[in-house]
Amino acid sequence: MDKKLQIFISSTYTDLIEERQAAVEVILKAHHIPAGMELFAAGNDSQLAVIKRWIDESDIFMLILGGRYGSIEPKTGNSYIQLEYEYAVQKSIPVFALVLTNDFLNRKTVSLATNGGDFRGIFELDNPQKYQEFKNQVRQRMCKICDNINDIKLGIFESLIEFTSDPYYELTGWVPGINMKQLEKRLSTFSDENYKLKSEIENLKQAEKHLRDTLARKCKIPQIAYNIHLLEALEKSSLKSAFRIKVDNPLREVRVKELVEEELTSSGQKTFRLVASSGANYLNAQGKVWQVGLGDAVVKGEAQLTVVLESPFSEFAKTRALANRVTHHQWQEKITVERLKELSQKYNVTIKVTEDAVNCSLFFTSNSVFYDPYLWAKPTPALRTENNFWVFEFRKQEPPNKDYECYSLLEKHFDFLLERSTSLEEFLGENNENFNKNTEQFQKALSSLLEKQ
């Protein structure tokens, strides 16, 4: 159905005549209806009351904010454009603003001065503080910055597309009149379609129940709110388990132990691969994963372990330290250089270091991968950042499903980081010289940044 939207245009007037005209042209070309104070007939009602009625009847409120605060409404002491804007927000009418840059306004001033126009009315002189406060308020909501007339036209066009294409905005609009026979015919059609949709919904509910039952049999998935499309994707993705990590929750370690045992009893080369920021849980002698079987497999020489760790001096590591307001790095807190050297020198363990941000930890066996996305959060200023929220296990598919095979996708991520890493020995330098020098520089840089904060 062809629906025309009424768009209320708010702005100061004499300084933005050209810009308002451009806005009106775009709205008309888009087959919608512009509304603004210059279009209203004079009446007995107060100006603000008339404005509010027009805003109430409009589908979208658009503000063009130039360099002026505008005429002041006597009772409130605020400008009409601010009162209009705040009223539209209060009434939950979709709002967007076009904010003109200072360069745009300066060019208008020069043009007016050159052509004998009134250039003094482009910038606010009477209420500069109120203007700036209102401008800050506007920029906190949906707005587009405009540097010329074309930006204004494009901004309106893009905003209208956003509003009309997003079902979140229930825009009433104006609809051309149709006769009763046409209406009755449409209502009859809608009734038939409604019956068909109800039947389809019931079928979808049955399909969803079947998928839930299938997933419950196949894997240990926590009870979370997911829709049928996510269920289909999960079923195809080879997701085996998902663990919500809590304090003293042993489920992840229990599953790791099962996977280590599965790897050691399988045919072929026994191989484990790890990507992590520090790898403390996997590599420290006291680490939970090390203690549930990985450590024994490595120490006894039953398996090979390849590790890629994030450099403790990376930009991401620096950001994490700043968030926690500390000057030491991860390796000083969670794992020692001596421990890493011991693993690489005494056992069949290859350790490499990358400067890239390691945005997840990955632990691979030949048939499964544990994926821990680093979803960083800092609940309160007193608490440290934390990233252990969920861990997912994906099984390797044979043959792989090219659209959903998560094991292969994560394996490519591992290979990418491995290729862009250096050996532990090269990273540390002779007698740890490079490492000690970088640690000192890291601590100095963090101290300086924290002092500035």
Q: What is the largest CA-CA distance in the chain?
A: 94
What local confidence, expressed as pLDDT, does residue 273 receive? 95
331 and 427 Cβ atoms separated by less than 8 Å: no
Q: What are phi and psi of 301, to 5 degrees?
A: 75, 25
* Residue 348 to residues 272, 299, 303, Cα–Cα distance (Å): 11, 8, 7
CB neighbour list of residue 356: distance below 8 Å, 6 or more residues apart: 310, 314, 417, 420
Q: Where in the chain is the domain with CATH 3.30.870?
A: 228-452
Q: Options 3.30.70, 3.30.870, 4.10.800, 1.10.10; which CATH number does 228-452 get?
A: 3.30.870
What local confidence, expressed as pLDDT, does residue 210 receive? 66
Rounded CA-CA distance 300/260 in Å is 13
What is the three-class DSSP state of 350? strand
Helix, strand, coil % in the chain, rounded to nearest 5: 50, 15, 30
Fill in the amino acid letter for 313: F
What local confidence, expressed as pLDDT, does residue 228 receive? 54
Beta bridge partners of 134: none
pLDDT in tens, the chain (453 residues): 467 889 999 999 888 989 999 999 999 998 888 987 655 444 445 778 888 888 998 999 999 999 999 988 888 899 999 999 999 999 989 999 999 999 999 998 888 878 776 667 888 889 999 999 999 999 988 889 999 999 999 999 888 888 888 777 777 777 665 544 565 677 777 777 887 888 878 877 776 676 666 655 555 554 444 455 555 666 666 777 776 665 555 677 788 888 888 888 887 888 999 999 888 888 988 888 898 889 999 999 999 999 999 999 988 888 878 877 888 888 887 888 899 999 999 999 999 999 998 878 899 999 898 888 876 655 555 555 555 567 788 888 777 666 667 888 889 999 999 999 999 999 999 999 999 999 999 889 888 888 876
Q: Where in the chain is the domain with CATH 3.40.50.10140?
A: 6-165
What local confidence, expressed as pLDDT, does residue 42 receive? 40
Quick one: CA torsion of 163, 166, 167, 168, rounded to 10 degrees?
-80
Structure tokens that stand for 221 in this block: 């998935």
What local confidence, expressed as pLDDT, does residue 225 receive? 46
CA Rg value for the chain = 32
Q: Topology of 6-165 in CATH?
A: Rossmann fold (3.40.50)
Count CB neighbours of 24 within 10 A.
18
DSSP classification of residue 91: T
Rounded CA-CA distance 314/5 in Å is 52
What local confidence, expressed as pLDDT, does residue 428 receive? 92
4 and 31 Cβ atoms separated by less than 8 Å: yes
| Helix (H) and strand (E) counts in the chain | 18, 13
Rounded CA-CA distance 161/217 in Å is 45
What local confidence, expressed as pLDDT, does residue 73 receive? 87
